[in-house]
Amino acid sequence: MTKVLLTGATGYIGKRLLPILVQRGYSVVCCVRDKNKFHVVESIKDKIQVVELDLTQKESLNNIPQDIDFAYYLVHSMSTSKNYNTLEKQSAVNFREAVNKTNAKQVIYLSGIVNSETLSKHLLSRKNVEIELNKGKFSLTTVRAGIIIGSGSASFEIIRDLVEKLPIMIAPKWLKTKCQPIGISDVIKILVGILGNAQAYNNCYDIAGNEILTYKEMLMGFAQVRGLKRKIWTIPVMTPKLSSYWLYFITSTSYKLATSLVDSMKIEVIAKDNEINKLLHLNPISYKECIKKAFSKIEQNEIISSWKDSTISGRMDYKISDYINVPEYGCFKDIRKKQVKDDLSCIEKIWMIGGETGWYYANWLWEIRGFIDKIFGGVGLRRGRTSLNQIHAGDTLDFWRVLYASKNEKRLLLFAEMKLPGEAWLEFQIKGDILIQTATFRPKGLLGRAYWYLVFPLHGLIFKGLIKELTKHNNVNTR
């Protein structure tokens, strides 16, 4: 059986590509940094292999099997750190050297369109990765995409936030920049279509839809699909820094990602040709059709992957296993216990917490805390959650990260990614007929201790109300 190495298996593209590859009969080796963050449906578990590695740690790449036939390079370090360009280049070198030791005939790399003479820091980093991968013994196929539109994609969510929240926009001048968006379904078709395709060996292709649009036209097109009337005026006086803050406060993006996006949005990303469409006999769907497909998935609660669950949406520069054991020493705790009349109803409520459902009690206080977090450069509450009623380790849940989730064990453990002078956990667990709700805070220095005592009265109000609502016996809508 043909063996395919898939890096970025927990990412936005990788999560969607994996089931298609399995369906096509490939044996897939999934590369992940943290196995605890990797979850797949039961039907494909016995058809994949999972290896844990970190591309920045050269020795960890020894976990890559030598008998792979093909490989996908889908990793991306944008805005995870200030020197992400250096990290991306070193990761590419490490990967190239590791794959050179295998039987791989082809590596497929998903990059960004780079046909401008002046590249943003982000696009220049992508180009440098391509240069390094191209030095390998294998055949490299590079596909360069601009804006990818699909349920859960960063571009889609940012456009959605802007259009649905702002009837009138005073926007930066880069909204007049032209780009060529492509639907996620077409991206997946291309990535699968060029796998093992000898005509694609040692070639690079720009991939895009058939429409060239300005960012303003994309916003207005989204509004038309949603039946919304919107007015947009662009002004030339908004600096890149102000533009970044504009995106950061209005949308669910992080400030680091907003800065990288603004840097890239000043440059046109238009495909040079449509050679890949001819090779694969592909007719890309329109931008508005992409929007309609995305909302169809959202309405059916079938979002396969979301950019919000990735490193760039928070502070996932840690392994879940490092924080899954909640500390005791030097910690403050708020422990509450309450009898559960219907544990099934209670678990369903816990599994739907946050996002559109909210926090059941004093939501306005949670919203204020989210706003304060945004002010200080945190993620706030706007990340929400990918699925209405499913939770897996590694998922985002407002300003929390899911560390552990087991309905069988009746336990959910969250770790705070908000700006704090310390570290915080929130745990729900049913033992017998008792729900135990535990908030743990490990302070850093005097500021951390002062913070705990300052917010203690509010915690008393919020956590008391939360456990009371969770243990109420009523029917739960599990759409």
CA nearest neighbour of 158 among 144, 179, 127: 179
Which pLDDT band holds residue 5 (cuts at 50, 70, 90)? very high
Considering the domain architecture, whether residues 113 and 43 belong to the same structural domain is answered as yes
Considering the domain architecture, whether residues 350 and 379 belong to the same structural domain is answered as yes
- 199 pLDDT exceeds 70? yes
Give 256's Cβ-side CA count (13 Å radius): 15
Q: Could you give the CA distance from residue 25 to residue 10 in angstroms, rounded to a whole number?
A: 20
- In the listed set 292, 308, 324, which residue is the last one of a domain according to the structure? 308
Q: Could you give the CA distance from residue 129 to residue 221 in angstroms, rounded to a whole number?
A: 34
pLDDT of residue 172: 81
Considering the domain architecture, whether residues 285 and 322 belong to the same structural domain is answered as no
Q: Could you give the CA distance from residue 255 to residue 247 in angstroms, rounded to a whole number?
A: 8
pLDDT of residue 306: 66
What's the Cα-to-Cα distance from 436 to each of 88, 232, 352, 354, 442, rounded to whole Å?
43, 50, 17, 18, 19
Mean pLDDT along residues 118-132: 79
Which pLDDT band holds residue 117 (cuts at 50, 70, 90)? low
Q: Kindly give, in sequence order, each residue whose CB lies less than 8 Å from that of residue 185, ignoring residues fewer than 6 positions away.
A: 150, 285, 290, 293
Which DSSP symbol is given to 376? T
Q: Could you give the CA distance from residue 197 to residue 225 in angstroms, rounded to a whole number?
A: 37
188, containing H or E segment:
helix 184-193
- In the listed set 289, 308, 327, which residue is the last one of a domain according to the structure? 308
Considering the domain architecture, whether residues 274 and 296 belong to the same structural domain is answered as yes
pLDDT of residue 346: 94
Considering the domain architecture, whether residues 281 and 352 belong to the same structural domain is answered as no
Which pLDDT band holds residue 478 (cuts at 50, 70, 90)? very low
Considering the domain architecture, whether residues 249 and 361 belong to the same structural domain is answered as no
Considering the domain architecture, whether residues 437 and 300 belong to the same structural domain is answered as no
CA nearest neighbour of 253 among 340, 314, 183: 314
SS3 118: coil
Which pLDDT band holds residue 4 (cuts at 50, 70, 90)? very high
Alpha helices in 77-183 (DSSP H): 84-99, 121-133, 154-165
112, containing H or E segment:
strand 106-112
CA angle 245, 249, 255 (to 5 degrees): 55
Q: Is residue 216 part of a domain?
A: yes
Considering the domain architecture, whether residues 186 and 331 belong to the same structural domain is answered as no
Which pLDDT band holds residue 322 (cuts at 50, 70, 90)? low
Average pLDDT, the chain: 86
Domains held by the chain: number: 2
In single-letter form, the type of residue at position 83 comes to N
Considering the domain architecture, whether residues 294 and 402 belong to the same structural domain is answered as no
- 50 pLDDT exceeds 50? yes
Considering the domain architecture, whether residues 263 and 118 belong to the same structural domain is answered as yes
pLDDT of residue 166: 87
Q: For residue 323, count other CB atoms closer than 10 A to its CB.
A: 16
- In the listed set 287, 308, 329, which residue is the last one of a domain according to the structure? 308
Q: Could you give the CA distance from residue 254 to residue 259 in angstroms, rounded to a whole number?
A: 9
CA nearest neighbour of 473 among 362, 349, 336, 337: 349
Give 168's Cβ-side CA count (13 Å radius): 0
Expressed as residue numbers, the domain containing 442 is 314-470
pLDDT of residue 125: 80
Tokens for 338? 């309450």
Percent of the chain with pLDDT over 70: 89
pLDDT of residue 3: 94
CATH value at residue 287 = 3.40.50.720
On whether the CB atoms of residues 308 and 383 are closer than 8 A, the answer is yes
pLDDT digits (tens, 9 = 90+) for 179-194: 999 999 999 999 999 9
Q: Could you give the CA distance from residue 271 to residue 277 in angstroms, rounded to a whole number?
A: 12
Considering the domain architecture, whether residues 302 and 350 belong to the same structural domain is answered as no
Tokens for 204? 């690079």
CATH value at residue 318 = 3.30.530.20
Mean pLDDT along residues 444-468: 91
pLDDT digits (tens, 9 = 90+) for 398-421: 889 898 899 999 999 999 988 899
pLDDT digits (tens, 9 = 90+) for 371-386: 888 887 777 777 778 7
pTM here? 0.78
pLDDT digits (tens, 9 = 90+) for 231-283: 999 887 767 677 777 777 777 777 777 777 776 677 788 888 888 999 999 99
- 223 pLDDT exceeds 60? yes
What's the Cα-to-Cα distance from 303 to each of 162, 299, 300, 385, 402, rounded to whole Å?
20, 9, 8, 10, 17
Q: Could you give the CA distance from residue 218 to residue 287 in angstroms, rounded to a whole number?
A: 8
Q: What is the dihedral of CA 215, 217, 223, 227, to 10 degrees?
A: -170
pLDDT digits (tens, 9 = 90+) for 135-177: 999 999 999 998 899 888 888 888 888 898 889 988 888 888 8
Among 84-88, 428-432, 435-439, 450-454, which is the least confidently predicted range? 84-88
Considering the domain architecture, whether residues 229 and 353 belong to the same structural domain is answered as no
Q: Name 334's bridge partners.
A: 439
